[in-house]
Structure 1
Amino acid sequence: MLAPSLGAGPVGFTNLAVSGAQTRDVLERQLPAALALRPDLVSVVVGVNDTLRRTFDIRDVAARLDRVYAACAGQGAVLLTACLPDPGAMLGLPGPLARPLARRQRAVNTVVHALSDQYGAVHLHACEGDWIGDRAMWSADRLHPGEPGHRQLAVRFHALLAEHGLAAGPAPSPEPGSPAPTRWASLRWLATAGTGWVARRCTDLLPQLLSLAAGELCHHARGTGVRLDLRASAAVSAALAALSTGERRPGAT
């Protein structure tokens, strides 16, 4: 959607994204393939899937993103990045389940903000706005944009690129080019692919998330919930500090 709007001449586009990819997948699999193409622009929008795993560690996420951004910028590519909405809120989870995921996503967004500034990325603040709450913008899983949502992202990225003198063509159309999926199609997806996703998260994330939710309830009862926020903020600060000192963790290689 965005590629034809970047310039008057032909623009090549390669999509290396894979559903369910985490920062490790981007670093180990997608980055080498992207660098081999010698791209002028690279979109690196990732992080939500990391927050939905029991292995989530903001220091590992930060270290991987730092390596990805550095490699792309080092090759002269313009980086496109975005901070993303809270998955717990998008899924409509109850507060005790949603708040731990919200802290994780805020942590990822803070790291993305910091690294985007460091590497001069064209950054889209996509975690807020009226469009986030519009169900028509999202696919059946409520985590990935549908065509209208992708078009909104393309329009907003185009505006930012134009401000930087990097988009000479007209803005993409925000209007969908195909009909929205029917309710039956959405239900069929939820009953097939959606069921598999839920099953995987039940064996991976859910046990840990229930434990985190129990902690939320205990802190709420004692009026000490702010401690969880402070702990998460301290973890982000430590993750960014580790990058500035060149410290690497085994899980981030």
Structure 2
Amino acid sequence: MTMHTGGKEMLLQREQRVVFQGDSVTDTGRDRDDFFGLGNGYPAIVSGTIGSLFPEMRIEFLNRGVGGDRVKDLKNRWKEDCLDLSPDWVSILVGINDCWRLYDSNDRTEPALFESNYRYLLQSAAARGASLIVMEPFYLPVYREMEMWTEDLGPKIQIIRRLAREFKAVYVPLDGIFAEAATKREPSFWAEDGIHPTPEGHSLIARHWLKALGVL
């Protein structure tokens, strides 16, 4: 059954399973002992919104974000925490820690390795028949020293955009979305430390995720 919302076709179908993957921005304190634990961020907002609007569709959401993860960490746990869950959709938001570790630990993730690992995530999920949702990593320069981060993150975002096109993923350009939002309120309103979203920041992510999937 295809649902239409406001003249748009919703991409999600009845009784599908969506797996959210990523780092702490996705993790948001989820209960590891609860198979269906969503945490208190954008995955919970997405699930609650769709469940309230379309309860009859019985769409299932799983959160497997892990705080601190880089792309290589997702790759290491990808089989257990993604492929073995038989998702119909895989939603990925990762990459900020690949940038951050350069500036807080002098631990660089080279672009070629970043691309290779990210490609593995998309390729292996697509090979299992999953549809893909790719979200840009983002940050807001709450502190002056963060202004230089774009030198490392910018090329990685370009890699993600290129891979999203190649794998025909639904794409959510969060870096630009947050940059625009920061023209309306101070950056810390959206992400207190520039990285981890506030409730308003998580709502912003959820709203654009839902728009990209044709829900709103």
- Normalised to the residue count of structure 2, the TM-score between the two structures is 0.67
Larger relative contact order (CA 8 Å, sep ≥ 6)? 1
SS, match of residue 26 in structure 1: helix
- Structure-1 residue corresponding to 2:66: 18
Aligned-residue CA RMSD (Å)? 2.0
1:135-174 → structure 2 map (5 Å cutoff): 135-138=188-191, 140-162=192-214, 167=215, 171=216
Matched, 1:42 2:90: yes
Question: In 2, are the aligned partners of 1:16 and 1:30 still within 8 Å (CA)?
Answer: no
Query: When you count helix as a share of all residues, which structure comes out higher?
Result: 1
Deviation string 1:102-151 (CA, Å, 9 cap, x unpaired) is 1111111000000000011110111124324542222x432111222111
The residue matched to 1:155 in structure 2 has which SS? helix
Quote the residue 2:27 is aligned against.
none
Deviations 1:59-118 (A, max 9, x none): 111100000011111112121112233x4x524224xx632x211111110000000000
**Residue 75 (structure 1) aligns with:** 128
2:171 aligned counterpart, secondary structure: strand
Q: Is the 8 A contact 2:137 2:175 kept in 1?
A: yes
- SS of 1:141's equivalent in the other structure is coil
- How far apart in 2 are the matches of 1:9 and 1:107? 39
Aligned to 1:215: none
Percent of aligned pairs sharing the same letter: 20
Structure-2 residue corresponding to 1:93: 144
Q: TM-score, normalised by structure 1?
A: 0.57
Question: Do structure 1's residue 60 and structure 2's residue 113 form an aligned pair?
Answer: yes
1:120 maps to a residue whose letter is: K
Structure 1 residue ranges without an equivalent (≥5): 172-253
- How far apart, CA to CA, are the structure 1 residues paired with 2:144 and 2:189? 19
Structure 2 unpaired stretches of 5+: 1-44, 102-106
**Where do 4+ consecutive residues of structure 1 move more than 3 Å?**
none
State the match for 2:172 in structure 1.
124
Q: Considering fraction of residues, name the structure with more strand.
A: 2
The alpha carbon displacement at 1:31 in A equals 4.5
Q: AA paired with 2:160?
A: V
Q: Is the 8 A contact 2:187 2:194 kept in 1?
A: no
SS of residue paired to 1:13: strand
